[in-house]
Structures are given as C-alpha cells and as structure tokens.
Amino acid sequence: MRRRALLAAAISAAALTAAAPAAAEPASCDDPSCVPGLTTGVVLGQPCQDTAYYVFGTAVAGPSIRPDRLVFCGSPRRYEPRYFRSPSMAGIKELDSSCAGYENWVAQAPDGLYLSCQSKNGEPRWSRGDG
C-alpha cells in the first residue's frame, strides 16, 4: 500500500514538472515601446557603431532634443556613423513584407536588422535601412 502511495506521488510530481506546451506566437509589435535592443541615454549626434543591427535608441540630450526622442545610428554619405532623429517607427516587421501605410517609416526585423519602408517595383516593401 505504501509503495502505491509513493508511486502515485512520484507520478503526480512528474506530471507537475512536465514541460508546459509552447506559448502561442507573441503579440504584434507596432511601435517603439515593444522593440528590444533600444540603446538608452543617447546624445543626439554622438558617434555610434552599428548601422545595420539594433540601431535604435532613445535620446537624453543633444541640439534641440526632447528627452526620450527616438534616434537611430546612421552614416550619411559615408561619414562616420552617428545618432540622428528617427523617422516614425512601426515596431517589429519582417524583411521584404508589405509596408503599405508605413511609407517613409522605419522598423526593426526580429533579428535586429534596421528596416525602411521603400517602394520596390511600385509596391511598398520593408527593405534594409542601411543600404
């Protein structure tokens, strides 16, 4: 009898510690508040490193800047990369998917790639923003 009780307890414990089923797909991310990898404490115009991945940040200071303004790391005309004010951001989007309604906006791919909504063959698509 005691053996059955121990066996039943072991089975119950195993059932409780079994892995839970995989969670449902995450909710969509349509604005900067849910974008991972934002660099905080950026000064507008300060140098930055990577113009391709995890380029977004929030500014704390700089010429005519309001706190928490969204900025991005860019390199115009092949100059040294630095932080600039960001266009409107659409959150997390997939490379080469449609960006209708987000023309001239920016986004971040799930892997951190910088995306820009640009027209390709007359259709707005998310493209690499560093290209």
What is the pTM (predicted TM-score) of this model? 0.75
Question: 110, 117 in Cβ contact below 8 A?
Answer: no
39 has a pLDDT exceeding 80? yes
Q: Are strands 70-74 and 82-85 parallel, antiparallel or unpaired?
A: antiparallel
3 has a pLDDT exceeding 70? no
Residue 89 in tokens: 């951001």
Give the E-state strand segments of 25-113 in sequence order. Answer: 39-43, 56-61, 70-74, 82-85, 89-92, 106-108
122 vs 64, which has greater pLDDT? Answer: 122
First to last CA, the chain: 73
Q: Tell me the average pLDDT across 43-63.
A: 91
At residue 15, the pLDDT reads 37
pLDDT in tens, 13-28: 433 333 333 444 456 8
pLDDT in tens, 68-118: 899 999 998 778 999 999 999 999 999 999 999 999 999 999 999 999 999
Which residue from 26, 129, 43 is spatially nearest to 87, judged by alpha carbons?
Answer: 129
Q: Is 42 exposed, middle or buried (0-12, 13-18, 19+ CB in 10 A)?
A: buried
Q: Is 107 exposed, middle or buried (0-12, 13-18, 19+ CB in 10 A)?
A: buried
At residue 96, the pLDDT reads 96
